[in-house]
Chain A
Amino acid sequence: MISALILSLSVSVLTMIFSFFPQVEVLPTIANVNLDTVIVGGVASVYRLADLFWYITNVIQGFFFIMGYYAIKFTFKFLAGLFQGIGGGAIN
């Protein structure tokens, strides 16, 4: 109950604070380039290619798998560095 209360109140307060910040509905236009249109169009083209050539999906899946590996690897490296800092160089 306490954990739920803390969690709920934290999110509510966080939400209230950030309610003063603008809400992002679309990406901005920079140097006459509408980034939102570019992203949406690019994603649509990738999906279209994936529809037409299904094997692209296998390659993209492999790519994301490797990205996941790197995410885990860098998390470990970051934590190792953190503990190294806390331990005064005890972990090399």
Chain B
Amino acid sequence: MNPYPQVVHIFTIPVIVLLVASLLLPVSIARADINLPSTSASSDSSYISGTATSHLAQPLGTGYTGTITSASFSYNVTVAGGKHDAYMSLVEFDDLTDYNNALSGSLDGAIASYSIGAGSYIDTTTGDQVFSATPSITVNPSYYYILLVSIQTNDFYSGSEIDFTVYGTEAVLLPDACTDNYPIGATHTGCGVLGTLGITLVGIGDVSLPPDDTSTRIDNVDPIDGQEIATSSLPYTFAVDGYINEDDYEEGARIMIKIDRNTDQQAQGALLGWNSAFGNRTYLPLDASGAFDVSTSSDAITANLDFPMDRVGLYRARWEIQVPGFSLFGFALNYSTEQSLNTRFTIGTSTPLDKIQLDQEEYLENIIGSIEGDPLEQCNFNFFDSAFDFRLGSDLLGCIGGMLHWFFVLPPGVLENTVVQLKEGFLTRVPWGYFTRIVTAVQDGAAGTLPTIHADIPIGGGEDISIEFDIDDMVGGAATITDSFVSPDGDTLREIVEPIIQLIVGLLVLMFIWKDIMRSV
């Protein structure tokens, strides 16, 4: 018998009322649409791609009036599997200097940031995606605005392994993990690539897009930096794309690819460093100014790079956009380099010695890059100088602190590189590799189809009835029905019910943990 019937009664009624109200509330709220002139900025064929998390910003400028009531952008997921989140927000500035600083990568001067919309657990399937939202944000004609778009993987499903492509027209990258602002088309690992956004805004006038980036540049190369090429893929096709400005272009312009082999003496067990004597070059002509996307044919790479590319080991490549400098009777006597890029790649499975050499080179580069100033600078003092001071903050302590920091504090990137090396060289080997493989299979898993069950049921007389259950079709149909429930306000069943289910699951989890703790105490 319940000793506290009134208490249960008091709590039960409000809970039921709240549950019913939470179901009805989204249906009963009327939305006030404001009809304003609608403009759109359509995308061109260029695109960006990024991994894990990418933030893109579209500078909108100033002079807008009215209220933003609808916004959308399109993008394309290139690797299927898992879920991802998408966000869209508007950042407001009341000062032109702060606005310009934001275009260089710092949002510190923003006076407000409005969320236009957020989508969580969006199905990540290969193909085009459209994110849309219906905000209600009133803009000020004297303020400056930047539109931010963010796409990130949902950690629960796929860690950081989703690759995606966002289409659009002009964008400035403001990656959260990077402090620099990258020009359109520039590549930065882990921070995404600048590109263009296809943005449609309703209720906001005069969306003006900045002009196209026409600077001479190398956008992408293949093989990318650090790529490992299997010997079965040889001969390999080298490719490069980018842009050559009309002012920079001269007839006879070309792409030069120069390749050096590092471990040519590997057979003798010695590492002699980059051996340019074995380096070789190939040239790819650029027929016109503008965007280019050129590659070697297999024949060209074997013909022009006349050393065998089937040697396992480390290579480095230098990519240059070259234009003729001085010509005589139509023949270029020399070339000048407009843009260049250095990358490294490996042919075949690199040896442990290759790995160590590469690791140590990268490690040294990191060390050199991380040292800001001379750590011994403060150590330039004389114990016997009358001005010498042992007190806190003196040169002596500064020197010791600098030395300790220099010796023991890990430079940026070292830990991350170490984890990557550990994963590649250690965690994929027997016996840990089996566990890693399971984790990878779960992380990289993509939604497939449910199995079909086939059953032969004997009915006597030597005859069978053959029944086939297409579980995927059956379950998919049920899911379609539940997804088709939409409230008069346009909210799906999921949008209405999911918060309640999350609440119930959360409470059950907390109760379970609480009971376990109480049992242990």
What are 24 pairs between A and B in contact, CB < 8 Å? Answer: A1-B367, A1-B411, A3-B410, A4-B366, A4-B411, A4-B414, A7-B410, A16-B353, A19-B351, A23-B429, A24-B433, A26-B437, A39-B442, A41-B448, A43-B442, A45-B450, A45-B451, A47-B448, A48-B449, A52-B476, A52-B478, A58-B505, A60-B156, A62-B505
A79 within 8 Å of B by Cβ? Answer: no
A57 within 8 Å of B by Cβ? Answer: yes
- B contacts with A: majority SS: helix
- Which B residues are CB-close (under 8 A) to A53? 475, 479, 482
| Contact A47-B445, Cβ < 8 Å, known A1-B367, A4-B414, A15-B426 | yes
B-facing mask of A69-88, CB < 8 A → 1, else 0? 10001000000000000000
Which positions 398-431 of chain B face chain A at CB distance < 8 Å? Answer: 406-411, 414-415, 418, 421-422, 424-426, 428-430
In whole angstroms, what is the CA distance A14 to B475 when docked? 48
**A47 contact from B411, B426, B447, B478, Cβ within 8 A:** B447
A-facing mask of B458-477, CB < 8 A → 1, else 0? 00000000000000100110
Measured CB to CB, the residues of B under 8 A from A are 81-82, 121, 123, 156-157, 351-353, 355-356, 359-360, 363, 366-367, 406-411, 414-415, 418, 421-422, 424-426, 428-430, 433-434, 436-438, 441-442, 445-451, 472, 475-476, 478-479, 482, 494, 497-498, 501-502, 505-506, 508-509, 512-513, 516
B-facing mask of A16-36, CB < 8 A → 1, else 0? 101101111111000000001
In whole angstroms, what is the CA distance A40 to B449 when docked? 12
| Contact A57-B121, Cβ < 8 Å, known A12-B360, A66-B509 | yes
Q: Are A57 and B418 in contact (CB under 8 A)?
A: no
Q: Are A24 and B430 in contact (CB under 8 A)?
A: yes
Residue on B with the closest CB to A51? B447
Pick the most buried of A24, A53, A55: most chain B CB atoms within 10 A of its CB.
Answer: A24
A11 within 8 Å of B by Cβ? Answer: yes
In whole angstroms, what is the CA distance A43 to B407 when docked? 46
A90 within 8 Å of B by Cβ? Answer: no
- Which B residues are CB-close (under 8 A) to A36? 437, 441
| Contact A4-B410, Cβ < 8 Å, known A24-B437, A44-B445 | yes
In whole angstroms, what is the CA distance A24 to B352 when docked? 17
- Which A residues are CB-close (under 8 A) to B448? 41, 44-45, 47-48
- Which B residues are CB-close (under 8 A) to A43? 441-442, 445
In whole angstroms, what is the CA distance A58 to B501 when docked? 7
Q: Are A3 and B408 in contact (CB under 8 A)?
A: yes
Measured CB to CB, the residues of A under 8 A from B are 1-5, 7-8, 11-12, 14-16, 18-19, 21-27, 36, 39-41, 43-55, 57-62, 64-66, 69, 73
Residue on A with the closest CB to B435? A24
| Contact A40-B363, Cβ < 8 Å, known A2-B408, A23-B429 | no
In whole angstroms, what is the CA distance A40 to B445 when docked? 7
**A19 contact from B352, B498, B509, Cβ within 8 A:** B352
**B437 contact from A25, A57, A69, Cβ within 8 A:** A25
| Besides A4-B414, A45-B451, 8 new A-B residue pairs in contact (Cβ under 8 A), listed by A number | A1-B367, A1-B411, A3-B410, A4-B367, A15-B355, A15-B421, A47-B445, A48-B450
**A58 contact from B407, B408, B425, B502, Cβ within 8 A:** B502
| Contact A11-B429, Cβ < 8 Å, known A16-B356, A24-B434, A66-B512 | no
Residue on B with the closest CB to A18? B429
In whole angstroms, what is the CA distance A62 to B445 when docked? 20
In whole angstroms, what is the CA distance A41 to B367 when docked? 45
In whole angstroms, what is the CA distance A40 to B494 when docked? 28
In whole angstroms, what is the CA distance A2 to B411 when docked? 11
The 4 closest A-B pairs by CB, nearest first: A24-B433, A44-B448, A15-B425, A43-B445
- Which B residues are CB-close (under 8 A) to A44? 445-449
Q: Are B156 and A48 in contact (CB under 8 A)?
A: no
- Which A residues are CB-close (under 8 A) to B438? 27, 39
**B450 contact from A18, A21, A49, Cβ within 8 A:** A49
In whole angstroms, what is the CA distance A3 to B415 when docked? 10
Pick the most buried of B410, B426, B430, B441: most chain A CB atoms within 10 A of its CB.
Answer: B441
In whole angstroms, what is the CA distance A2 to B451 when docked? 55
- Which A residues are CB-close (under 8 A) to B411? 1, 4
Residue on B with the closest CB to A12? B356
Q: Are A8 and B418 in contact (CB under 8 A)?
A: yes
Min CB gap A10→B, angstroms: 9
Q: Are B501 and A24 in contact (CB under 8 A)?
A: no
- Which B residues are CB-close (under 8 A) to A57? 121, 156
Q: Are B352 and A47 in contact (CB under 8 A)?
A: no
- Which A residues are CB-close (under 8 A) to B509? 62, 65-66
- Which A residues are CB-close (under 8 A) to B415? 7
| Contact A2-B447, Cβ < 8 Å, known A8-B360, A22-B429, A58-B501 | no
- Which B residues are CB-close (under 8 A) to A7? 410, 414-415, 418
Q: Are A16 and B121 in contact (CB under 8 A)?
A: no
In whole angstroms, what is the CA distance A59 to B501 when docked? 9
